[in-house]
Amino acid sequence: MQDKTKHDLIIRVGGEGGEGVISVGDFITQACARVGLDVYTFKTFPAEIKGGYAMYQVRASTEAVYNQGDIFDVLCAFNGEAYDMNKANLKAGHALVYDCPGDFEPEIPAGVFAYPIPMTQTAKELNNPRAKNMVAMGALSVLFNIPEASLREVIETKFKRRGDAVVQGNLTAFERGQELARALKKTDPWAIGVPKADAKRDVIVMSGNNAIGLGALIAGVEFFSAYPITPATEVAIYVSKHLPKRGGTLIQAEDEIASISQVLGASYAGKKAMTSTSGPGLSLMSEMLGMSFMSETPCVVVDVQRGGPSTGMPTKHEQSDLFLAIHGGHGDCGRIVLSVENVHDCVGLTVTAFNLAEKYQCPVLLLSDGSLAFSTQSIPYPNPDDYKIVDRLRWDGKGEFKRYALTESGISPMVDPGTPNGMHIATGLEHGESGMPSYSGENHETMQAKRFNKLKTVASDMPPAEVDGDGAADLGVIAWGSTIGVVREALQRLRAEGYKVKGFYPKLLHPLPAQQFEDFGASCKRTLLPEVNYLGQLAHFVRAETSLRPESYTICGGMPFTPEMIVKRVKEMLA
């Protein structure tokens, strides 16, 4: 087992969907964030509408947490299925808290610290069978030092609107769980660390999907259209709650083609507009992305990637839409593609996506992924005033308006419908400066150059890709999306063991900032590129557009990498 210090603890709670597994995870997460611990959660939902195995894993630390971790330190099993699903990973040194008497009798592996807690029975004795999860949470709080006062506050806050009796019923069950745990002798070494005195407590806790919605609100989204699709639907759900408060419009379209079409219509009409989807939906949108590029109509498209192709593994994690995001569409079609590492990015890069779409009048795709979609993380409170907001260049009303005027930057002023003397056509046909169709070869070459040339400065509008580590390295690891957080931790561990390793974390994936890759590659003897897809999609582009020849490390088992997997591969390469 990896050498862990006490500052960092991973608790996994598993049980039947509907038993309150998700609530326990949420409560522990909120309580830890309240006291200033950094939290990063990982969950799997049952595919069933009701019932089925549900799992919620909380990682809480006094230090920054970048990923979900390798495996749990503590397993809390509400039922036999939860135990069975996880027993292969239950190893010497781990702690197991389980329902006893319950529907199962675990064989406790040697070296596992086991704590039987009568969760079901106690809740029944209290005439409150639904509070089984509170009994478990009480026990966990005592056994692993989860901040008790904070947990009580969270319980009170969450159940307040259901009345005092409900609050009291849950607190009673929580306290019973605590008593049961106190009666047991603690034998394991695990405990959540005490937050540092200067720990940041001005935080919010959000999922990746909600954070994208928040980023859109900060960016000033005015129109949002989407079609339901796992795992992206929560973006629309979040925005639907809050956009009307800002006077904006959210519509559920009849399909993804209609969503992106409505977005383009609203954008042409002068509004900041976006849609969110997953891979299958993005496939359907690809023709309209071409229209967006050709007609120079800004749009933001969020793709929360899932396992593909076809219907694939809709609830599972994958980073496999990069080919589609960059090249999906017919003809030579440009766009900007960004990818997010974590919840913090989901806010900030969504704002960036809007800014770039407005500035460059083209489609901007923001790639998130299945594990980040539902992962809740604590992030510093985002002050809306701290974000730079860019609006499209609008015509000043002077002279004759030419929608596609050839300018030095390639960016032509836009005009909102209803403006005097600004009438024009936005068209998907090749056109001259005024918008009128023109099929001459010379004109097509001129206009394609205009549309592509303007994208040449995109890299300069963003901070350069982060380089993790200094000096010359024996191995450089390039990562994108939520894999970055895994690599960060792996490199910390490797450096602690004396390995000379560096990381490179691009967030702008297209147009690829090739020179930044070259500079990074020049400082590394070899490079490795782990990504969660079969084909090694980013590695393909890096090989095609730079002189780097990264070794691909691909997995597609529906789960993210763990730090230990990266550590192992790096050690093998450097052996």
Partner 1 sequence: MNAPVKLQERFHQVQLEPKDYRDGVASFWCPGCGHNGVLTSFLRALSDIGIDPQNLMSISGIGCSSRLPYFVKSYKMHTLHGRAGPVATGAQLARPDLSVVVTGGDGDGFSIGGGHMPHMARKNVNMTYILMDNHIYGLTKGQTSPTSQLAMKGTVTPFGSVEEPLDPIMYMLAYGATYVAQAFSGNVKLASQLIKDGMEHKGFAFINLLSQCPTFNEIDTAKTFKSACEVMDTSHDITDLNAAMQVVQKARQEGRLASGLLYKVERSTLDDRMAELVTRVGGHKDYDLRKVIDLSRP
Note the residues at the interface with partner 1 (CB under 8 A). Answer: 29-31, 33-34, 154, 203-206, 210, 214, 217-218, 222-223, 225, 242, 244-249, 251, 253-255, 257-259, 261-271, 273, 287-288, 291, 295, 378, 381-382, 384, 416-429, 436-437
CA distance 193 to 8: 7
CB of 158 to partner 1, least distance (A): 11
Structure tokens at 345: 């990015």
CB of 194 to partner 1, least distance (A): 17
Instruction: Name the residue nearer to partner 1 (CB basis): 4 or 200.
Output: 200
Instruction: Name the residue nearer to partner 1 (CB basis): 40 or 553.
Output: 40
CA distance 162 to 128: 15
Instruction: Name the residue nearer to partner 1 (CB basis): 139 or 351.
Output: 351
CB of 470 to partner 1, least distance (A): 35
Instruction: Name the residue nearer to partner 1 (CB basis): 270 or 558.
Output: 270
Instruction: Name the residue nearer to partner 1 (CB basis): 50 or 245.
Output: 245
Q: Is the peptide bond before 437 cis (omega within 30 degrees of 0)?
A: no
Instruction: Name the residue nearer to partner 1 (CB basis): 129 or 244.
Output: 244
Burial (Cβ within 10 Å: 0-12, 13-18, ≥19) of residue 396: exposed
CB of 389 to partner 1, least distance (A): 12
Q: What backbone torsions phi and psi does residue 223 show, to the nearest 5 degrees?
A: -140, 130
CA distance 78 to 342: 29
Q: At what angle are helices 21-34 and 148-159 packed, to 10 degrees?
A: 120
Q: What ranges in 231-271 are assigned the alpha helix state H? A: 233-242, 256-268
CB of 460 to partner 1, least distance (A): 29
CB of 347 to partner 1, least distance (A): 9
CB of 61 to partner 1, least distance (A): 15
Instruction: Name the residue nearer to partner 1 (CB basis): 222 or 489.
Output: 222
CA distance 346 to 432: 38
Those residues with Cβ within 8 angstroms of residue 473's Cβ, 6 or more apart along the chain or in another chain: 500, 501, 502, 523, 524, 525
Structure tokens at 266: 């609203």
CA distance 263 to 357: 12
